[in-house]
Amino acid sequence: MTVGLGSADRFEETVRAGADEVFCGYVPEKWMETFGTLRPLNRRESVWTNAQAGPVTEMRILREMADRAGVPVAVALNAPVYSPPEMPLFIETADLLVREGFASLIVGNMAALLALHGSGIGRKCRIHLSGEIGEVNRGLLPLLPEMGVRRVIFHRKMSFEDMRLLNGAMARSSPPMEAEAFAMNELCHFTGAYCATLHGDLTLPMCRLSWIPGGVSDKKSPPAQAGIRFGAGDGCGLCALRKLRECGVTVVKMAGRGARAEDMPQRIALLRDALCLEAECESEEEYLLRLRRLLGGKCGGECYYPEAGRFVE
């Protein structure tokens, strides 16, 4: 289980709650002075809310705590695009993080991946391919390990069948790549690659606004909403844990961007309990039954994977 970390101060309680690894954002002062948050370095664009781990001094403290705990930390540098003026500072930041001992970087576009490879930084770290890249190309994925990619993070709208197909393609790579999928928090309208909103400090992103799909003109009624996954800040894939494992997913992700920091330990513990429960059960039916008992028979209905056969009250 990998968990989004909004502050270095929350690292120890996150690990105590059950996180196997964490990921976080980092924005150096030089980036803020040059580009600000309207041209973000990562998809955790907020600076003053629960999104970034802190300045480089806090990052050093975080790395020391992580080393003592034996818990890996991945740092997100996963904006969907960087302009040519931004690319040198992107490379400088990635190089700084690797020299500070952060062995895993989350990258969200092909230009950034190529730049890391060309600079040699990609050979010094593990690269996690962010869901922001929209990873659906079975022909490309097996070629990425030679560029340092060791994990593919599936985007939020990935079906089980697509996961199976992509994992089948990834199995042909050398070395084989890990597969990560969302399990809790931050259900969004978009896959990530097609998100056109910012997660800023002063404005709500699209996934926090109430809306319904509209018709193509005022004369037509709104289309049926079947199959549309809305985002309300929450999101749950607990019912799908067995199916995710059967599809080849090796890491489940609890997003943390925008989540209430005080709620995270309880949610982490719940996901840990569900993972342990799934490992004990001999069948999906047994797992769903015991999961229902674990949750007290309550289902929020905000499903990452509505095809998983979730239970309802």
Q: Which residues contact 289 (CB under 8 A, 6 or more apart)?
A: none
In a domain, 259, yes or no: yes
In a domain, 192, yes or no: yes
- What proportions of the chain, in percent to the nearest 5, are helix, strand and coil? 40, 15, 50
In a domain, 217, yes or no: no
Note whether 306 and 229 are within 8 A (CB).
yes
Q: Which residues contact 200 (CB under 8 A, 6 or more apart)?
A: 37, 45, 46
Q: Which domain holds residue 266?
A: 2-199+230-308
Predicted confidence pLDDT, tens digits, the chain (313 residues):
999 988 888 999 999 999 999 999 888 889 888 987 778 888 766 655 555 666 888 899 999 999 999 999 999 998 888 999 999 999 999 999 999 999 999 998 889 999 999 999 999 999 999 887 766 678 888 888 989 999 999 988 888 999 999 998 888 887 889 999 999 887 777 666 666 666 665 666 666 666 665 555 555 555 544 444 444 457 889 999 999 999 999 999 998 765 677 888 999 999 999 999 999 999 988 999 999 999 887 777 788 888 876 655 4
Please give the tally of structural domains in the chain: 1
In a domain, 163, yes or no: yes
CA distance 265 to 88: 37
Which residues are registered as beta bridge partners of 164? none
**Entry pTM:** 0.86
In a domain, 295, yes or no: yes
In a domain, 204, yes or no: no
Q: Which residues contact 293 (CB under 8 A, 6 or more apart)?
A: none
In a domain, 95, yes or no: yes
CA distance 153 to 137: 13
Q: What's the pLDDT score for residue 206?
A: 64
In a domain, 221, yes or no: no
**Strands 21-25 and 73-77: what pairing?**
parallel
Comparing C-alpha atoms, which of 155, 232, 160 is closest to residue 191? 155
CA distance 66 to 102: 10
What CATH number is given to the structural domain containing 88? 3.20.20.110
CA distance 191 to 155: 5
